[in-house]
């Protein structure tokens, strides 16, 4: 399964995410995208499937093969209680790769003292089955191939 970048920004190693749940691969392997803090960001679906979980600050898309991808918008953003996030889908909706999911402002995260780093995680995947396609430091555009999950 090819996973597209849900955001534009700079690719970061998941081990560099300032949250041990992601950095220590507790949820699964992946990568992170750090969006530019000076523009509003629209997080896109990284793959086709069903919205299996949806929160103002995160979502999970489950593909037809049962594999799930988590996109978390910033770290510790649950503390914002949804303020500053606009949802474009509902749990249970079917989405295509690249469909708009959530709009947010990375500048608001910075102003709240939170990291803008957005993990993209292959939930409970074997780390050997997930290959990061872009090196850390690479600038990625929304929709560009980001991960290959075999």
Which pair of structure tokens corresponds to residue 79? 């503390």
* Whole-number Å distance between alpha carbons of 107 and 118: 14
Residue 72 known to be catalytic = yes
Choosing from 55, 57, 72, 88, the catalytic residue is: 72
**Half-sphere exposure of residue 123, counting CA atoms within 13 Å on the CB side?**
15
* Residues 121, 6 contacting (CB under 8 angstroms): no
* Residues 136, 15 contacting (CB under 8 angstroms): no
Active site residues: 72
């Amino acid at each position: 399964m090819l996973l597209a970048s849900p955001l534009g920004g700079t690719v970061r190693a998941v081990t560099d995410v300032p949250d041990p749940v992601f950095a220590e691969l507790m949820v699964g392997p992946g990568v992170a995208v750090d969006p530019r803090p000076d523009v509003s960001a629209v997080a896109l679906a990284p793959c086709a499937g069903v919205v299996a979980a949806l929160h103002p600050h995160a979502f999970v898309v489950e593909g037809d093969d049962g594999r799930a991808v988590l996109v978390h918008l910033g770290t510790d953003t649950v503390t914002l209680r949804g303020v500053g996030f606009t949802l474009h889908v509902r749990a249970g909706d079917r989405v295509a790769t690249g469909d708009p999911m959530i709009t947010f402002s990375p500048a608001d995260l910075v102003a709240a003292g939170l990291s803008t780093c957005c993990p993209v995680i292959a939930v409970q995947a074997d780390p050997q089955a997930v290959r990061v396609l872009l090196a850390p430091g690479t600038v990625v555009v929304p929709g560009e191939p980001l991960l290959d999950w075999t």
